[in-house]
Structure 1
Amino acid sequence: MIACQRHLFDMPDDRAYLNCAYMGPLSRRVVEAVRRGAARKAQPWTVVPDDFFTETDKARGLFAELIGATSDDVAVVPAASYGIATAARNLPLAKGQRILVLKDQFPSNVYGWREMAKANGAEVVTLGKAQDDDWTRVILDAIDDRTAIAALANNHWTDGSLIDLVAVGARLREVDAALVLDLTQSLGALPFSVKDVRPDFMVCAAYKWMLGPYSIGFMYVDPNWQDGEPLEQSWMTRSNARDFANLLNYVDDMQPGARRYDMGEFSNFALMPGAIAAMEQLHEWTPKAIAETLGAKTRDIAAQAAMLGLTSPPDSSRAPHFLGLSFPDKPPANLVADMAAQQVHISVRGTSMRVTPHLYNNDDDVARLMDALRAIL
């Protein structure tokens, strides 16, 4: 269990920010790293050619360590949608085959598959949630010989319902289907290993549970797909990219591993230092300890909310860092604005009120949340 880390963030005592699933705040450490990075760009004569690559290589390694991969398996991307588009460009899909997605899945992990299916005469199959919140069983029951791709998350973004990705990945391999993951709503707060799950592609935007800057993300690519077609034809992904004096000697060879899929201008001298600082902090805390700490907090919130008539998925079927609360009928009108007026910040997604704390939240935040709910209900 990790003690409250509020002192590391610019978090006023009178404000209960329980909305990390919307956007994770930058710690003071990350803000300072971004400030230093931006200040360096103000004096470009201090930026040498190696600087275009060294920090990104460090970030690549930190991300790889989070997921049990190697630096060569990691590409730098600007958004989850970029990673999904990369996967869609490289995975095979035949006429009549199926792509599995979940009902109310995050749009970035839906739109690209719709376009891919349309172009190939395939079908996107949207799976509905079971009454007992068991997404895993629903997914496993849907996988058959027609399945080409399953595009999923580790937990559902509306209410935190958990998916057993190890079981799903194993079943997909039995029918020679691919697994593509968007872990933006879990990575950093929930342990994950590519060695256990074995996804074909996995992408994560850094601005939520990784507590990093907006418009920076990372993508894991299984070695089987590391010789594919990138979305961009960038000079930075070519084998001679570090030799600035000879860039006009155009080459076809790419940088090794997943680097061929890097976005253009991946160096990002202002934001990449912030992403590094954020991941260094996550490594110090560890996702396992974060999950255990946040699990205790969300269980407490769920128990108190139940006394007000609100329900949530059982602990066994939801991610520990993520709580979706359901009202007897539907969320009250203007719920988000009314809560914010009382300095309590949550989200509503679908029919769930998302309560997603992090290590900066304390008991006073939970008390403020409950007081605000009582006043509204």
Structure 2
Amino acid sequence: MIDQKHLFELPEDIHYLNGAYMSPNLISVRAAGTAAVQRKSNPLTIQESDFFEPAEELKSLFGKLINGSAAQIAVIPSASYGLMSAISNVSCGKGQHALVVSEEFPSAHLTLQRWCNENNAELKVLFPSKERQGRTEKWNDQIIEAINKDTALLVMSSVHWMDGTLFNLEAIGAKCRETDTIFIVDGTQSVGALPMDVAQFNIDALICAGYKWLMGPYSSGLAYYSERFNIGKPIEESWMNRNDASDFSTLTKYPEEYSPGAGRYNVGEFSNFITLPMLKAAIEQILEWKPENIQQYCKQLMQPLFTCLEVNGIPAEKPENIASHLVGIYLPEQIDIERLITDLKLHKIYVSARGRSIRVSPHVYNTNYDVEAFLAIFQKHLP
């Protein structure tokens, strides 16, 4: 795969290595949004079928991306909304507990903490080894070992959002299935850039915000809910999530039956006439590229970074244990992280600071030149 910079409109003089913060718009995504905004200038162009059919097309595309049934996919406005829909529908038996990895993204941790408070359940946090090298295998083993018959649910990201740690979702999902533990995954920081298979990994709920690696607009997202959730209680009672809602002449019959599958978990006004076409255009492009090709491209880009860390004696996990599209560099104490970030911005190089780490997150709009520019400034700050 070669770089796809020509499909974006990033300024030529910047080095944007911050896809984990927010993706830039593809030209095709911007065009879809512009056309969608223009369309509402004449509401007569929006038919009753447009309230439902575009969403079904989007769900089908997302289903191809994650190997999940379109009927089990819902349109959501944010990861927190999708997480709440899943977590609040998990029952808790006497003496059961919940598991979460340490420093999980706040939306997941806080939602799970609320569930524990409401169910008088303990929240167990799983911390990794303090050693950087070899900690991924140990952390995965620890997670698998912690799951038992008393674990009601496990909530975690597909890769750690701060440093790109690759979790062994297949082995973790197998242990969850063995113990009847609900496995809820926040895929926001990997789905679209890293292969995902909800069937192979035995994932019960996969939640994805749309504005990062799905390359769509903000306030958009998609969620997969397995059939275990098909009798759950949704956050809201939208008329659109009921059977036969597409028949506008029967709306005041107030049907009690929800739409099939995960339809009950769609956000109200899920047929957003602006964001849906944009997210659809983005996922169509991702499917054309294929996540495995994106990952391989990023792996090649990041090789000089791992070489730099090794040469300079900076402890780091092995590259095969880190997602190539999201790499966290834990800095030596001697480095002034604020000065480093300021210097990078001065040279129009954009990454994220997360605690004592620098998060470098490339994509196919980047080239070797972007990584070289980052390393030139980064190495100036090394002790």
TM-score range, shorter chain: over 0.9
- What SS is found at the alignment partner of 1:354? strand
The equivalent residue for 1:30 is: 29
Show the 5 A alignment for 1:1-377. 2-130=1-129, 131=131, 132-134=134-136, 135-329=139-333, 332-334=336-338, 335-377=340-382
Contact kept in structure 1, 2:211 and 2:219, CA below 8 Å: yes
C-alpha change, 1:197 and 1:330, in structure 2 (3 Å) is: farther
Q: Secondary structure at the match of 1:357?
A: coil
**Structure 1 pair 114–330 and aligned structure 2 pair: CA distance change class (3 A):** farther
Deviations 1:179-206 (A, max 9, x none): 0000000000110111101111110011
Q: What is the Cα deviation at residue 327 of structure 1?
A: 1.6
Secondary structure of the 1:110 match is helix
SS in 1 for 2:216: coil
| Alpha-carbon distance between aligned partners in 2 of 1:148 and 1:234, rounded to the nearest angstrom | 29
Instruction: Provide the rounded CA distance (Å) in 2 between the counterparts of 1:141 and 1:302.
Output: 30
SS in 1 for 2:206: strand
Take 1:331 and 1:170, find their aligned partners in 2: how far apart are those partners?
41
1:147 deviates by 1.1
| Aligned-partner Cα distance in 2 for 1:147–1:184 | 24
Deviates more, 1:92-101 or 1:300-309: 300-309
Change (3 A) 1:13 1:304: farther
**Aligned letter for 1:338?**
D
Q: Quick one: which amino acid aligns to residue 184 of structure 1?
A: T
* Contact preservation (8 Å) 2:32, 2:277: yes
Aligned counterparts of 2:248 and 2:315: Cα–Cα separation in 1: 59
Q: What TM-score, normalized to structure 2?
A: 0.95
- Is contact 1:330-1:351 (8 Å) kept? no
Q: What's the offset of the Cα at 1:300?
A: 2.5
Judge conservation of contact 2:306–2:319 (CA < 8 Å) in 1: no
Moved over 6 A (4+): none
The answer on whether the counterparts of 1:102 and 1:127 sit within 8 Å (CA) in structure 2 is yes
Aligned partners of 1:173, 1:280: CA distance in 2, in Å?
32
Asked whether the equivalents of residues 337 and 356 of structure 2 are also in contact (C-alpha less than 8 Å), the reply is no
Identity percentage of aligned residues: 37
Cα RMSD over matched residues?
1.4
Give 3-state SS (helix, strand or coil) of 2:232's partner.
coil
Bigger shift: 50-59 or 320-329?
Answer: 320-329
What do residues 38-65 of structure 1 show as CA deviations (whole Å, max 9, x unaligned)?
1111211211100111111111100011
Contact 1:181 1:199 in 2 (8 A): yes
Structure 1: which 5+ runs fail to align?
A: none
Tell me the SS of whatever aligns to 2:306. helix
Question: Per the alignment, in what secondary structure is the counterpart of residue 143 of structure 2?
Answer: helix
Deviations, residues 250-303 of structure 1 (Å, cap 9, x unaligned): 110111111111000111111110000000000100011111111221223221
Contact 1:331–1:353, Cα closer than 8 Å, also in 2: no
**SS of the residue 1:353 aligns to:** strand
- How many Å separate the matches in 2 of 1:146 and 1:332? 44
Deviations 1:227-263 (A, max 9, x none): 2111110000011210112211111011111111100
> Any idea what SS the aligned residue of 1:145 has?
coil
Per the alignment, in what secondary structure is the counterpart of residue 197 of structure 1? coil
Which range moved further: 176-185 or 88-97? 88-97
1:16-45 Cα distance to aligned partner (Å, 9 max, x none): 000111111111110000111111112112
Contact 1:37 1:270 in 2 (8 A): yes
| Residue aligned with 2:32, SS | helix
Q: 1:374, CA displacement in angstroms? A: 3.0
CA distance in 2: counterparts of 1:357 and 1:195, whole angstroms: 28
Change (3 A) 1:48 1:285: same
Shift of 1:223: 1.3
CA distance in 2, matches of 1:339, 1:97: 47
Kept in 1: contact 2:86–2:229 (CA 8 A): no
Report the CA distance between 1:308 and its aligned residue.
4.3
Do the aligned partners of 1:133 and 1:161 also contact (CA within 8 Å) in 2? no
Q: Helix, strand or coil: the match of 1:257? A: coil
Distance 1:238 1:102 in 2: 36
How does the TM-score come out when normalised to structure 1?
0.96
1:120 & 1:94 partners in 2: Cα distance?
9
For each residue in 1:87-130, what CA deviation from the matched residue of structure 2 results, as whole angstroms up to 9, or x when unmatched?
12211113432111111111111001101101111011111112
